[in-house]
Structure 1
């Protein structure tokens, strides 16, 4: 991490962001096996595991959508047909349906559909993270930059701020860095007594890759083949070349790697206290 340039967040004007980000594409890596969540992923791809009755993929897209991002590329792999079927039938599952059997017509009514454009790309079951990006290179090659994140993590990250930050520093890549929660609770002991206890606070250890990248298409030149792992050679080479900047996010960030973490996110959603839902883009800084 010492080779990554870390900058503090700074205030930006949301109204300006909205006008300038509407055509930016967001890539979501959604093809892995999710073996640590095998209780769920034996039946469906990890991004289709539900939080509050909706796939976590839907929640991630809502995070971007709040900032005006409506163009998505989903890099599917393992059980990718389920992702295709989900979006192909999205209107049916989110509308009232009138079926006229005599005329063989189906009409959707009372639809509440987001203005998303979703390209689901089959990037192979055994392809690594970098390889998946390489497979969709042609879809972003002419863009000044694109967004990318993983299909298994939620956050109240300021997407608009990270885009403005990326534009400001001139590097090829911006990575959101976060301080993860500790696996166990922490205590403060005085005179043999517990004076303070915090249930799984943020760790004091180093910042880690939190996803939510802003990237120049030129970074895809570092992807050699399907077996390229994005987090290995490409990111390491960008850091060595001082072309990887860090957007430090100090708010909520939670991956869904285990059944316990899925339950944590479920409880947040059901309680109405899901930070990724309740965050206000216009107030972000």
Structure 2
């Protein structure tokens, strides 16, 4: 099984400024711990061994926190440091320079989605997919773009979010599995959006699949869900 994960931890957290200040978004305190600690715990329980943190804004705060072994849950931590904002795509491609194997999991640093990573990889391999998304059905569609899939899970389209529409829809849950060959085989600029510039524009040539999971999901990117996370995650770490 793939035992390397990239965590996008360079977000500025501009929508959280009213409740969280002066720290990178993954370091926002949730139920007495930095949100990042829940991701580290999740990765360790999913048999991940190495975590590459794609960092930028005030990354020294993250390094200071994770220098203590008790905060790492047995994980090897390395850093892919942005000296300027590269966008999600630029950050991921830069982080893949530290991936020694042929694949890695990628996680958003502001979402927690309690799925089985081994199941997601098995799903990808069973479909010969080079890209596999953990998907979620939600009624809060106005906050997210949607994902259209065929009956076998192959992704047919990514759609932009519609701020005026709230209906049940399938969204990207913020975790996916990706073969390194996609990075080495796709020239991209240093700065780009993984979602718009890579996924959407290259979907026609990608073996991209998605699987819907029924699992705890929380996105701390806005104050209301950040408040909700205080209750939902307080007993997650054993």
- Shorter-chain TM range is 0.7 to 0.9
2:85 aligned partner: 126
Query: Matched residue pairs, number?
Result: 214
Larger radius of gyration: 1
Counterpart of 2:118 (choices 160, 167, 180) is 160
**Does the 8 A contact of 2:49 with 2:74 survive in 1?**
yes
CA distance in 1, matches of 2:92, 2:72: 28
1:236 aligned partner: 200
Counterpart of 1:205 (choices 168, 173, 186) is 168
CA distance in 2, matches of 1:182, 1:136: 31
Q: 1:40, CA displacement in angstroms? A: 4.3
Q: Structure 1 residues 122 and 69 mapped into 2: Cα distance closer, same or farther (>3 Å)?
A: same
CA distance in 2, matches of 1:183, 1:206: 6
CA distance in 2, matches of 1:65, 1:256: 21
Q: 1:163, CA displacement in angstroms? A: 1.2
CA distance in 1, matches of 2:202, 2:72: 39
TM-score of the two chains, using structure 1 as the length reference: 0.69
Which has the larger displacement, 256-265 or 120-129? 120-129
2:108 aligned partner: 150
Alpha-carbon deviations, 1:8-48, whole Å to 9, x = none? xxxxxxxxxxxx34xx2100001121110113443100010
- For the residue of structure 2 that corresponds to 1:211, the secondary structure is strand
CA distance in 1, matches of 2:179, 2:186: 12
Q: 1:113, CA displacement in angstroms? A: 6.3
Structure 1 segments of 4 or more deviating over 6 A?
Answer: none
RMSD value, Cα: 2.3
Please state if 1:137 is matched with 2:96: yes
Which runs of 5 or more residues in structure 1 are unaligned? Answer: 1-19, 95-111, 185-202, 279-285
Counterpart of 2:177 (choices 214, 237, 243) is 214
CA distance in 2, matches of 1:240, 1:176: 20
Q: Structure 1 residues 259 and 130 mapped into 2: Cα distance closer, same or farther (>3 Å)?
A: same
Which runs of 5 or more residues in structure 2 are unaligned? Answer: 143-165
1:45 aligned partner: 24
